[in-house]
Structure 1
Amino acid sequence: MSEQSKVSPARRRGLADEVADRIREAIFSGAYAPGEQLREVELSGEMDVSRGPVREALRVLEREGLVRCAWHRGTTVTTLSTEDVAELDSLRGALEDLAVREVIARASDEDLASVAKTADMMERAVDAHEMVRWDIAFHDAVFAAAGHRRLADAWDGIRCQVHLFLLTRIGRSTEGYLDCVPREHRELVAALRARDTDTALGLFATHRRHAVDVVTGAADAS
């Protein structure tokens, strides 16, 4: 009698992963806006694949927080509620505060140069969507420079939702956005390079608060 296998057979998921990548990219590029419905039949037709990989891809994106599935509405691109924004901001703040402390304590000059390079690339952004991508890349570099694997994994768990949050921010307003974001990030880099923990923590908090204020409408009320 043969010994029973301890693991189930592996399945190839390459096609579903590719479909998820393409839908995610369409969301990040603004082709699918928050609240927009994603229909399996239409997606499978546009991408010339069966509905199975599309369904599997949408499950991946749901776990990432980019889409929401409901029996009465189908699948839609996530629209962040006030509670979503508050929870995401508080968690992001906790992770970034630790990342800043770790970067200042441990990062090499080469690590900081990588962070600075992403800030420099913001000067070349031609539109708000490209600026959002460089904003995310900047924070990727900060978490990488922290040299803390589990912290980086935690950031990766909310990264797509932060991207969606920033898309929501530019959906509310882009007034002054292309000018102010590079300046804010240059200030963040300067504080990290100076190894000034208090200043860096304050600047990162202010940077986050600006975006939250735009999304929640607080910037208009002030």
Structure 2
Amino acid sequence: MSTFDIVELRKADRRGLADEAADRIREAILAGVFPPGSPVREVELAASLDVSRGSVREGLAVLEREGLVRSAWHRGTRVIDLTVRDAEEVYSVRAALEGLASRSAIGRVDLDALDRRVDAMAERLAAGAPNEELLALDLEFHDAVYLAAGNRRLLEAWRAVRSQVHLFQLTRIRLGHQGYRAVVVDEHRRIARLLGDGDAGEVARFAEEHVHSALRALVDQLDR
């Protein structure tokens, strides 16, 4: 084995630990273990995860690129605050992405697979599933649309904001879950139907309104 091969192997191992750390910390943030605005400390995380501080630092860098945490000189790293301004920025970006994704997915997306995802939402909703489970199905639905759009840069843009969307949506449903549960199945069913109809303007319009209505609900709860 050459020196180059050894160096590459070690780098891959470190990236694996960093990704593992990022996954575990992300899960904790989304579960509310680290609330918005709270500090996340390298030493404590390294001890809890049984990895080096370097791996934690790299993992936090991943989450900073996703927009879930922010680092500042002499202040350390903190989970992002959920302000109205932050919400408006994230959801305005998402609305633009959803409009493009839905238009691009026409004729490409597996409509039967989308219907099965919506059916799963309806079944889990009827069974009284927790909001977090419904939201996971919700995001998987949108993941499928982005994948079907066939635009690599669009998919990367979605992945860059997906964790923030996840956190904001969790906040929305935790503050007013009945509103989310009342619309989650019907809105996604309509998106799937419009994709099948093939009207690019109409599906983009509704996909964007789907996002804007979520923003209005969240802002109303944050203002309270």
Q: TM-score normalized by structure 1? A: 0.84
Return the letter of the residue paired with 1:55: R
* 1:157-189: CA deviation from partner (whole Å, max 9, x where unpaired): 222222122122223321232232112111111
CA distance in 2: counterparts of 1:185 and 1:56, whole angstroms: 36
198-207 vs 59-68, which deviates more?
Answer: 198-207
Q: What is the aligned partner in structure 2 of residue 212 from structure 1?
A: 215
* 1:2-36: CA deviation from partner (whole Å, max 9, x where unpaired): xxx9xxx5423211111111111222233322222
Return the letter of the residue paired with 2:116: K
Return the letter of the residue paired with 2:17: L
Q: What is the aligned partner in structure 1 of residue 183 from structure 2?
A: 180
> Could you tell me which of 198, 201, 213 is aligned with 2:201?
198
In the TM superposition, what are the counterparts of 1:138-149 in structure 2 within 5 Å? 138-149=141-152
Higher helix proportion (structure 1 or 2): 2
Number of residue pairs the alignment of both structures matches: 211
Distance 1:140 1:114, change over 3 A: same
For structure 1, list consecutive stretches of 5 or more residues without a partner in the other structure.
Answer: none
* 1:89-113: CA deviation from partner (whole Å, max 9, x where unpaired): 2221222111111122x315xx222
| Greater RCO, CA 8 A, separation 6+ | 2
SS in 1 for 2:60: helix
Q: What is the aligned partner in structure 2 of residue 52 from structure 1?
A: 54
In the TM superposition, what are the counterparts of 1:92-131 in structure 2 within 5 Å? 92-104=94-106, 106-107=107-108, 111-123=110-122, 124=124, 126-131=129-134
Distance 1:36 1:122, change over 3 A: farther
> Could you tell me which of 161, 170, 174 is aligned with 2:173?
170
SS in 1 for 2:177: coil
- The answer on whether the counterparts of 1:188 and 1:204 sit within 8 Å (CA) in structure 2 is yes
- The answer on whether the counterparts of 1:44 and 1:50 sit within 8 Å (CA) in structure 2 is yes
- The answer on whether the counterparts of 2:67 and 2:163 sit within 8 Å (CA) in structure 1 is yes
Identity %: 47
> Could you tell me which of 51, 61, 82 is aligned with 2:63?
61
SS in 1 for 2:82: coil
1:137, CA displacement in angstroms? 0.9
Q: TM-score normalized by structure 2? A: 0.84
CA distance in 1: counterparts of 2:72 and 2:152, whole angstroms: 34
- The answer on whether the counterparts of 2:175 and 2:221 sit within 8 Å (CA) in structure 1 is no
Return the letter of the residue paired with 1:200: V
CA distance in 1: counterparts of 2:39 and 2:213, whole angstroms: 29
RMSD, matched Cα: 2.3
Distance 1:218 1:16, change over 3 A: closer
1:218, CA displacement in angstroms? 7.6
Runs of 4+ in 1 over 3 A off after TM superposition: 218-221
CA distance in 2: counterparts of 1:218 and 1:75, whole angstroms: 26
1:150, CA displacement in angstroms? 2.3
- The answer on whether the counterparts of 1:172 and 1:214 sit within 8 Å (CA) in structure 2 is no
- The answer on whether the counterparts of 1:95 and 1:151 sit within 8 Å (CA) in structure 2 is yes
